[in-house]
């Protein structure tokens, strides 16, 4: 179930057909899930099924694909663009678009590299300056949109060229600037891994937080007379999550383990998802994305929501640029270029965020970037040309958009749009 559906459920009970309450327990949860799929509420199901198919195919073609060593590298490669995709998700949720996230990530990496290596700034100050620049660019986008009503497509297209020019100006005659390998940023992006004992402890904590939060939510909904998950269902889900995450941690720990940078990316996803699902601001984001006029009539300051999402979009783009600079140990004219823009936007859409606004979650960034990087990694192992990667990713993106369009049509037919 998507967070937008969960938000709607906060105020509306969900009786089954015929007006009677839906059955509780595990069977009731399964029936509700099946009913949701029939009505077009597919959630993350298409992404998970597609990812499973991709992994099976590449594993059959190259047994190294699902090895622990390769999956560790795959996780690290997901962090930079995945972080950028979090910001793209937030912008898409309010039915807008930011075409300049790649350029923003590039200018952030240029700022930190020049400040650190040429002006002698402390590395943390260079990083902070790069991230602040991304937030400022997003704020300017928001102000222009709120004041003049210019479509964000046009605003950010102009921003793409303007910010790219700023990046080239900051770099000056330096085509590329190397960041020392002994700096904490490069070690963070390339060499820092969570100790096995800590990774298992984090799994237990994550499952405990999930289970406790689900039980508390179910108790509140029951007290309000709303449909809620049964304790048995929550315990089964928690146990399944514990086994799945525990196995993943164990398998990655067979080699280097779980990368710290990847865990920071996952932490960003969790924080943003919590903000979207459990805060007034998050509910306002879904409301604005669903219907601007309805949100305005409900008393929501829509300009504030648009500006906040564009600011966060720029901020996460800048953080992704910092991650990329640390991963590559350099920043240059190519930073944030090439396919960074397209891959970040594609990750958000492939992960399940609707281009029409109002549907999706922060988990879309994680799922989408894993799909994209799995395709890139698998094709690289097969020694296939980059052109093939672009074509395959394009097909996957098209399929994701078609599924979103069909599910939206189905929800409209069932009166859920």
Q: In this structure, is residue 187 part of a structural domain?
A: yes
Look at residue 356 in the predicted model and tell me its pLDDT: 86
Q: In this structure, is residue 7 part of a structural domain?
A: no
Question: What's the pLDDT band for 378 if we cut at 50, 70, 90?
Answer: very high
In whole numbers, what is the pLDDT of the chain averaged over residues? 87
**pLDDT of 393 strictly over 60:** yes
Instruction: Report how many domains make up the chain.
Output: 1
- Mean per-residue pLDDT, 290-305: 95
Look at residue 18 in the predicted model and tell me its pLDDT: 40
**pLDDT of 286 strictly over 70:** yes
Question: What's the pLDDT band for 388 if we cut at 50, 70, 90?
Answer: confident
Look at residue 1 in the predicted model and tell me its pLDDT: 41
Look at residue 36 in the predicted model and tell me its pLDDT: 55
Q: What is the 3-state secondary structure (H, E, C) of the chain?
A: CCHHHHHHHCCCCCCCCCCCCCCCHHHHHHHHHHHHHHCCCCCCHHHHHHHHHHHHHHHHHCCCCCCHHHHHHHHHHHHHHHHHHHHHHHHHHCCCCCCCHHHHHHHHHHHHHHHHHCCCCCHHHHHHHHHHHHHHHHHHHHHHHHHHCCCHHHHHHHHHHHHHHHHHHHHCCCCEEECCCCCHHHHHHHCCEECHHHHHHHHHHHHHHHHHHHHHHHHHHHHCCCCCCCHHHHHHHHHHHHHHHHHHHHHHCCCCCEEHHHHHHHHHHHHHHHHHHHCHHHHHHHHHHHCHHHHHHCCCCHHHHHHHHHHHHHHHHHHHHHHHHHHHCEEECCCCCCCHHHHHHHHHHHCCCCCCCCCCCCHHHHHHHHHHHHHHHHHHHCCCCHHHHHHHHHHHHHHHHHHHHHHHHHHHHCCCC
**pLDDT of 27 strictly over 70:** no
Look at residue 225 in the predicted model and tell me its pLDDT: 85
Look at residue 25 in the predicted model and tell me its pLDDT: 53
Q: In this structure, is residue 21 part of a structural domain?
A: no
Parent domain of 78: 44-406
Over the stretch 148-158, which tens digit does the pLDDT of each residue have?
Answer: 999 999 999 99
- Mean per-residue pLDDT, 339-362: 90
> Does residue 134 or residue 46 have the better pLDDT?
134
Full-model pTM? 0.88
- Mean per-residue pLDDT, 31-60: 74
Look at residue 224 in the predicted model and tell me its pLDDT: 86
Q: In this structure, is residue 413 part of a structural domain?
A: no
Least confident residue range of 214-223, 337-346, 399-408: 399-408
Q: In this structure, is residue 165 part of a structural domain?
A: yes
**pLDDT of 6 strictly over 80:** no
């Amino acid at each position: 179930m998507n967070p937008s559906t969960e938000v709607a459920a906060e105020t509306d009970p969900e009786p089954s057909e015929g007006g009677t309450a839906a059955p509780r327990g595990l069977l009731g949860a399964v029936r509700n899930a099946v009913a949701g799929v029939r009505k077009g509420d597919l959630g993350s199901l298409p992404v998970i099924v597609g990812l499973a198919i991709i992994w099976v195919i590449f594993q059959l073609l190259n047994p190294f694909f699902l090895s622990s060593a390769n999956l560790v590298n795959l996780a690290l490669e997901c962090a930079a663009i995945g972080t950028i995709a979090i910001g793209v998700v937030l912008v898409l949720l309010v039915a807008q678009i930011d075409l300049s996230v790649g350029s923003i990530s590039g200018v952030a990496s240029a700022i930190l590299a020049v400040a650190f290596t040429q002006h002698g700034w402390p590395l943390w100050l260079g990083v902070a300056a790069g991230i602040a620049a991304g937030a400022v660019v997003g704020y300017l986008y928001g102000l222009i949109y709120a004041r003049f009503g210019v479509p964000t497509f046009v605003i950010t297209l102009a921003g793409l060229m303007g910010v790219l020019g700023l990046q080239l100006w900051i770099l000056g005659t330096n085509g590329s600037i190397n960041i020392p390998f002994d700096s904490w940023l490069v070690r963070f992006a390339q060499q820092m891994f969570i100790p096995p004992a800590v990774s298992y402890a984090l799994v237990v904590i994550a499952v405990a937080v999930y289970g406790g939060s689900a039980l508390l939510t179910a108790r509140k909904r029951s007290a309000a007379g709303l449909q809620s998950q049964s304790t048995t269902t929550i315990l089964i889900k928690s146990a399944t999550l514990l086994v799945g995450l525990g196995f993943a941690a164990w398998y990655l720990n067979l080699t280097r383990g779980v990368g710290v940078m990847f865990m920071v990316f996952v932490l960003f996803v969790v924080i943003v998802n919590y903000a979207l699902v459990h805060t007034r601001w998050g509910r306002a984001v879904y409301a604005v994305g669903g219907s601007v006029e309805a949100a305005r009539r409900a008393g929501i300051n829509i300009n504030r929501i648009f500006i906040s999402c564009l600011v966060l979009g720029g901020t996460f783009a800048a953080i992704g640029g910092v991650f990329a600079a640390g991963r590559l140990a350099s920043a240059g004219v190519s930073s944030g270029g090439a396919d960074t823009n397209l891959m970040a936007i594609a990750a958000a859409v492939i992960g399940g965020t609707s281009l029409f606004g109002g549907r999706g979650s922060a988990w879309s960034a994680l799922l989408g970037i894993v799909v994209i990087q799995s395709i890139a990694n698998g094709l690289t192992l097969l020694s296939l040309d980059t052109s093939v990667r672009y074509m395959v990713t394009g097909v996957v993106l098209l399929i994701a958009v078609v599924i979103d369009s069909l599910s939206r049509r189905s929800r409209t037919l069932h009166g859920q749009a």
